[in-house]
C-alpha cells in the first residue's frame, strides 16, 4: 500500500506521517528533506539557482542518501549527516526555489519512486498524489490556516532556541505557499482523488485516527 500526504508547509504532514509509520510499520519518506539537502548543497557551494548548468553538475556529482532503518530517518549529503542542517530557516526558502527547477525534480522524483517501489510506504510532499505516486491507494491533502501553521512553526523554532518573530514566519510561509502552488512543474495541488483534511482545529492523534480509518477501509 502507498499513502501520499501532500499539503502546504506547516500543515503537519511529517508529524502525521511519522506517527502513522510508527503505528503501521510502513516506511516513511520525507521528500521535502531531499529538496532541502540539495538546497543545502547549493548553499554550501555558493551556486546560484539561476545557473542551470551548475545545478545539473551538482545533481550529477551529489549523493543524497536516506537511512530509513532509524527513527526519525537520517539524511546524508555526500556522506555527511545533514538531518539537522537542512531544517535551518534559510534553507526552507532555498529549498522551495530549488524544487521549482526541472532537472532537480526529475532526479529527485526518480529517487523517490525507486525508494517507494521497495515496500509499503508513506510519502509526504507537495506532488506525491498528483505526480510521484499517482496510483497511491490513499491520498491525503492536509491543510491548516496560515495563522495556525505559522504558530506551530514559531513554537517549534522557539523550543529549539531560535529567537524568531511570528510575523516573519507567517510571511515566509505565505511566500513559500505561493511559490510552491504557482511553479510550472508539479505545483502543490490537491489530486482529484485526494481526501482533504483540515487540521487547524484537530490534534495530531485525531488526524492520524482519521487516516487510520481510511487505511482500514482500504484493506477491507
> Which residues of this chain interact with ligand DC, rule CB under 6 A?
9, 31-32, 35-36, 95-96, 99, 125-128, 176, 180
Instruction: Give the span between the Cα atoms of 59 and 141, in whole angstroms.
Output: 29
How much is the CA Rg of the chain, to the nearest whole Å?
17
Instruction: Give the span between the Cα atoms of 13 and 205, in whole angstroms.
Output: 13
Instruction: Give the span between the Cα atoms of 168 and 212, in whole angstroms.
Output: 35
168 vs 213, which CB is nearer to ligand DC?
A: 168
Locate all alpha helices (DSSP H) within the chain, ordered by sequence: 13-24, 31-44, 52-61, 89-98, 102-116, 146-159, 166-182, 204-219
Q: How far is the CB of 31 from ligand DC (least distance, A)?
A: 4
How many degrees, rounded to 5, is the angle at CA 132 between CA 97 and CA 53?
40
170 vs 176, which CB is nearer to ligand DC?
A: 176
Q: How far is the CB of 108 from ligand DC (least distance, A)?
A: 8
26 vs 108, which CB is nearer to ligand DC?
A: 108
Count of all residues that appear for the chain in the document: 220
21 vs 128, which CB is nearer to ligand DC?
A: 128
137 vs 189, which CB is nearer to ligand DC?
A: 189
In terms of phi and psi (left: phi > 0; alpha: psi -120 to 50; beta: otherwise), the region of 22 is alpha
173 vs 211, which CB is nearer to ligand DC?
A: 173
Three-state DSSP class for residue 205:
helix
Instruction: Give the span between the Cα atoms of 6 and 93, in whole angstroms.
Output: 18
Amino acid at each position: 500500500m502507498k499513502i501520499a500526504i501532500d499539503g502546504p508547509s506547516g500543515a503537519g504532514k511529517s508529524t502525521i506521517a511519522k506517527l502513522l509509520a510508527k503505528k503501521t510499520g510502513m516506511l516513511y519518506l520525507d521528500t521535502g528533506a531531499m529538496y532541502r539537502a540539495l538546497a543545502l548543497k547549493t548553499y554550501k557551494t555558493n551556486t546560484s539557482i539561476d545557473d542551470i548548468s551548475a545545478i545539473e553538475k551538482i545533481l550529477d556529482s551529489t549523493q543524497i542518501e536516506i537511512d530509513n532503518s532509524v527513527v526519525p530517518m537520517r539524511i546524508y549529503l555526500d556522506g555527511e549527516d545533514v538531518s539537522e542542517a537542512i531544517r535551518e530557516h534559510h534553507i526552507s526558502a532555498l529549498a522551495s526555489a530549488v524544487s521549482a527547477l526541472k532537472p532537480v525534480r526529475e532526479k529527485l522524483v526518480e529517487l523517490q519512486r525507486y525508494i517507494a517501489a521497495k515496500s509499503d510506504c508513506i510519502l509526504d510532499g507537495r506532488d506525491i498524489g498528483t505526480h510521484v505516486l499517482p496510483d497511491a491507494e490513499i491520498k491525503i491533502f492536509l491543510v491548516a490556516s496560515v495563522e495556525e501553521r505559522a504558530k506551530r512553526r514559531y513554537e517549534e523554532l522557539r523550543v529549539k532556541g531560535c529567537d524568531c518573530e511570528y510575523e516573519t514566519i507567517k510571511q515566509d510561509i505565505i511566500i513559500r505557499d505561493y511559490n510552491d502552488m504557482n511553479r510550472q512543474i508539479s505545483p502543490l495541488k490537491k489530486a482529484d482523488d485526494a481526501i482533504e483534511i483540515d487540521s487547524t482545529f484537530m490534534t495530531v492523534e485525531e488526524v492520524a485516527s482519521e487516516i487510520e480509518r481510511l487505511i482500514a477501509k482500504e484493506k477491507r
